[in-house]
Structures are given as structure tokens and as C-alpha cells.
Amino acid sequence: GAVVSQHPSRVICKSGTSVKIECRSLDFQATTMFWYRQFPKQSLMLMATSNEGSKATYEQGVEKDKFLINHASLTLSTLTVTSAHPEDSSFYICSAGGRGNQPQHFGDGTRLSIL
Amino acid sequence: AQTVTQSQPEMSVQEAETVTLSCTYDTSESDYYLFWYKQPPSRQMILVIRQEAYKQQNATENRFSVNFQKAAKSFSLKISDSQLGDAAMYFCASIAGGTSYGKLTFGQGTILTVHP
């Protein structure tokens, strides 16, 4: 069964709306989670590393004020796309785990469509 | 820093045949791990196979096997007896070893089409 749960799976909303995506680790404690963005037929682009109890580490070029990350507990990280616009439409995926040879577990992704 | 390169944007194979997907990588780490992930149209990320860099033996998982050439920094995936369900985008990825949670570095991906 899934070890990382991501919700919602699909969001369609109007421009200017803020959208929150949740990523939960179901059967393990995740001090670190990762958020990715993916365009069609392209690779996953790491947006940020979410650290429990501290600020997220953003990759170069990712707007911190646009993509707010909160990791308030060992099992939950959230990504909020603030004042979303059509160019923010994409597929967002979270992952957790991945220390040493243990592979990261991925959520099923969220397809975000901004009208 | 790590880089992963997949030079085949698209590949195709006939059902029941064998196909090999290429991947090269570069890393300054002495301890690292390599993975192949499969992303079907549902867009779930599914781990196919993993290889510890310190192991010389190539990893195998049923119909999936790798050819790990450490000196050449090559990590190709062989799919034997291809099935329609193997059609997906495949990503090669690397991660540094150690006790901390490291970042996965992905290749560009290869879209695999399986013809009946």
C-alpha cells in the first residue's frame, strides 16, 4: 500500500486563488520531504526540501513567496501555491524518505489547473 | 554535485522483445546509489530497481536488470520479455549515500512505447 499520501489529486481553480497540497507519510516519520514540479513529458524538477520544524530549502529560481512550504509535524508537509496564475498549472509531486539505500517514496501527485 | 543523463528521449520495443535504456551519471561522491523509476500514464512514480555503487554485482528484479559500469559511470536498464504494461516514462536517478536525507538527481527521462 501507499506509504506517502498526497491530496488532492486534482485541483481546478480560478486565477488568484491560493491552493494547498498536503503530503503525508503514513507509516514512518519523515523529517525531510521533497516537493517536485513536473511538466508533460519532462523530468521532475526539485522545487524545495521541506524540513520538519524549520524553514524549507528552496532550489534556485523557485519563488519562496509563491510556493509556501510548511512542515509542522513528522508526518505532514504542505505546499501552498499563493495567488495562483495559469503559469502555475503543472503536476506537483512530493516524496519522503530516501536515506542511504532506502528509496524515496512518492505521493501520487497533484494535477493543478489554474483557469 | 551529481548529474544524470539519459540520451534517449524515446524508445520503442515489440512485445516479448528486449530493450535497453541508457543512463550515464557523474558524481564526486564515493558512496552513492542509483535507481530506475517508472512513471506510467497515471504518473505514479514506481521504483523499478536500485543499485548500490559499492556492489559490483548487477541488480536484477524479475524481467528488469541493470548493467552497472562504475568506471564508465554507466547504468543501463534492460527490460526482457517486454509487456504492454511496461509502457511508461523511465527515469534514471542517483543519490549520495550517508546518513542524511539526500536529494535525488533525475535524468531527463525516456519514453518507452511497447508495440503489440
Q: What is the pLDDT along chain B (116 residues), one digit of tens a residue?
A: 789 999 999 999 999 999 999 999 999 888 899 999 999 999 999 999 999 999 989 999 999 999 999 999 999 999 999 999 999 999 999 988 776 667 899 999 999 999 99
- Model confidence over A53-74: pLDDT tens digits? 888 999 999 999 999 999 988 8
Answer whether B102 sits within 8 Å of A34, measured CB to CB: no
- Residue B62, all three cell numbers: 524479475
Q: How far off is chain B from A101, nearest CA to CA, in Å?
A: 6
Strand residues in chain B grouped as ranges (E): 2-5, 10-14, 19-21, 24-27, 32-39, 46-52, 60-61, 64-69, 74-79, 88-96, 105-106, 110-115
Establish whether the linkage from the previous residue to A8 is cis, with ω within 30° of 0: yes
B36 in reach of chain A (CB within 8 A): no
**Interface size, chain A vs chain B, as Cβ–Cβ contacts under 8 Å:** 56
Nearest residue in chain A measured CA to CA from B49: A103
B41 in reach of chain A (CB within 8 A): no
Taking CB atoms and an 8 Å cutoff, what residues of chain A touch B111? Answer: 41
Residue B92, classified by CB atoms within 10 Å of its CB into exposed (0-12), middle (13-18) or buried (19+), is: buried
Quote the Cα angle for B74-B80-B83, to 5°.
Answer: 125
